[in-house]
Chain A
Amino acid sequence: LCISGGLPQPTNITFLSINMRNILQWSPPEGLQGAEVTYTVQYFIYGQKKWLNKSECRNINRTCCDLSLETSDYEHQYYAKVKAIWERNCSKWAETGRFYPFLETQIGPPRVALTTDEKSISIVLTAPEKWKRNPEDSSISMQQIYSNLKYNVSIYNTKSNRTWSQYVTNHTLVLSWLEPDTLYCVRVESFVPGPPRLAQPSDKQCVHTLKDQASALKVKI
């Protein structure tokens, strides 16, 4: 047992959620630098009866706790709370707002495959996967959860220094009428219409359109 309220509360307690991987994170209480503070986490399923312990997040040193499994039913809503403990003192609980994974999780970038010829680039997109507990568990695509999942494809012509983007609903896109022998770079972001969500673009991928065979031939003749 500890003296409640003897310590300031942890701050900035929020869920960081990407593809339904839901990590509770917080900042240490102010003014306790150097003290060996530990933390204990509990969570609550909105509409149910009581707060539940997360045994792996009892008396921990780190300032985060993976609650993905406990919040895996993304149709439900949740709360979480954390308190700081140091020696015989502990803080009051610091609590999140109501967390609704279905509406709040960030949709990670898709996998992007590029193939090219002289004047076009073919882009094939694979939707990101929902978090799963074990690697051998069957995969669920975020597309299955969000049937209206779209992609924002940004294309950058390194020669003309020009960038343009377009929204795509299906998984393949062919960029035509490009310049031969030019380096193009592509970034893609997943997007679900509805309440605003943070977005993570894919890593930049670049590909070179082929030399124009016709002009190459003329040079030979």
Chain B
Amino acid sequence: GLRRCLISMDIHHIEEAFQEIKKTIQAKDPFQNVTILSTSETLHRIKPLDVCCMTKNLLAFYVDKVFKDHQELNPQILRKISSIANSFLYMQKALRQCQEQRQCHCRDEATNATRIIHSNYDQLEARSAAIKSLGELDVFLAWIDRNHQGTSA
């Protein structure tokens, strides 16, 4: 799993950054009956062996899709989201090294779970999907925290 891959990444400063904007972001999400990460069908079924691949896929999902589709006018929120995005870029770089050492193999389980998340996203209009995904960052960060203890401070 990622335990060997994620170079001592301190998730807590990302969690703190998100905590400050969480209520505002989640309040902008009008669709309570839809989730993107749909935790029980995706993240909670991921086995340790698939943690690295799933983390890589979800970081790419946020960096390449969510942060791009999200449009934000509030400078304070924009600053926090940028700091979270930069942390994700750092983690992607760390994972790339693992890939080169062939320690981030993707099996069907992780690929299917990623497909569900992208499908959930694509069923909503891009901006709504982006705001909803941002509102679920606490779920993703909690999942990273639990699956990479021992590598994060």
Binding site for B on A (CB under 8 A): 44, 46-50, 75-77, 79, 97-98, 100, 102-103, 147-148, 193-196
Contacts and interface: CB of A to CB of B under 8 A. Distances in A.
8 contacts: A47-B38, A75-B44, A76-B39, A98-B135, A147-B146, A148-B145, A194-B142, A195-B16
B78 interface: no
B26 A98 contact: yes
Nearest to A73: B40
Given A103-B142, A195-B138, A48 B33 contact: yes
A195 B19 contact: yes
Interface in B94-153: 135, 138-139, 142, 145-146, 149, 153
B13 to A, nearest CB: 11
A151 B82 CA distance: 33
Closest 9 CB pairs of A and B: A47-B35, A195-B15, A98-B26, A195-B19, A97-B23, A49-B33, A194-B15, A148-B149, A75-B39
Contacts of A98: 26, 135
A146 B142 CA distance: 11
Given A46-B35, A195-B15, A196-B19, A100 B138 contact: yes
Interface size class of B (residues with CB under 8 A): 20 to 34
B17 to A, nearest CB: 10
A97 B12 contact: no
B34 interface: yes
B16 A196 contact: yes
A77 B135 CA distance: 11
